Structure 1
Amino acid sequence: MSETEPDGLGRGDPRLDRFIQCLTESQTSLNAYLVAALGNYNDAGDVLQRTNLVLWRKAREFDPDYDFMPWAVAIARLEVLAFYRDRSRDKHVFSEELAVKMLDTTTNLFPDISPRQEALRSCISELPKTSQHLIKLRYEDGATLLQISEQINRTENAVKFALVRIRKALAKCIRSRIKLQG
């Protein structure tokens, strides 16, 4: 992966152009979310940079047919939790449990994001247990495809395609739920 282009996306790729547009347009909202979550502009700026780096590294996973912000906020949320974990030695920093409660409250400040997150949670709960387990390994635990394949004794490609199918099913479920609400 070069420093200027995300892995799997090259210059002239319309997905890269759309990703850059979404990333750029999201900066103000992401920063507002992080300031609300962290209560400190300097910390929010640091976590925003870490979030942008993760988003850039995961750019090839971005699907231009779906909303960018819920994905970006989910990554920002994980970066906030990592920030609190890293700083947990300082007794003047919130506990991770309190941080999670604050993040849950902060998410409600973004009404256009919250219904999607609620729909996602509901849709995930309807998945078969094996699919839920794959989602947990990949997106909560941050395991690589190789790590998951070794853990569940399947090929990397099988894991990759299973996750693609799961994401498509979740996207369809979320769209359906949002349409019903709306």
Structure 2
Amino acid sequence: MDATQTRTLQTESARSRAELARNWVKVQPSLMAFVVASTPQFSDAEDLLQDVAAEIAIRYDEYDNSRPFLPWALWIAKIKIADFYRGKRRDRVLFMGEAMDALADACSRVQQLMTEERDLLEYCLDQLTERSRRLLGLRYSDDLKPKQIADELGTSMGSVRVTLSRIRTTLMDCVQKRAAGEANVGN
């Protein structure tokens, strides 16, 4: 193998690792919920989630990136959970078959809803003025209290509270209107 081929493989490998990391970050909360609901103790769920992550990393080259990542990751989680119970040699398995499939489907639906809501919120945030986005950033990204924001902006704490309340109401209205509009488009 020459140097060009080696660099090409390294670049593809780095791209694949980055894609895996992006996919994992998106689905990790849903996988954790699925694993926690499928195991008797939280400590078992934490260990199982690590096993799932390792298995996903090992088998990532088998993943078809034209399909959604979460169902594939849930399939691996189901296998790991079944292995966990077989390893415990339990006579009674709490979640197998249809129950586990129903739980996996619910996790997929919740993940989809969270993605849709995040997209709606991002759209609505883009519609705000720069000043409103800055105020939200100071409050929620920088975690400043209204008094600290007022001091930084040279305004009153009451004004900051009222403005933040109005911004949140505007965002809520925007998200609800967009969601209703998208729901009507689907009908």
TM, length-normalised to structure 1: 0.48
Larger radius of gyration: 2
Task: Tell me the TM-score normalized by structure 2.
Answer: 0.47
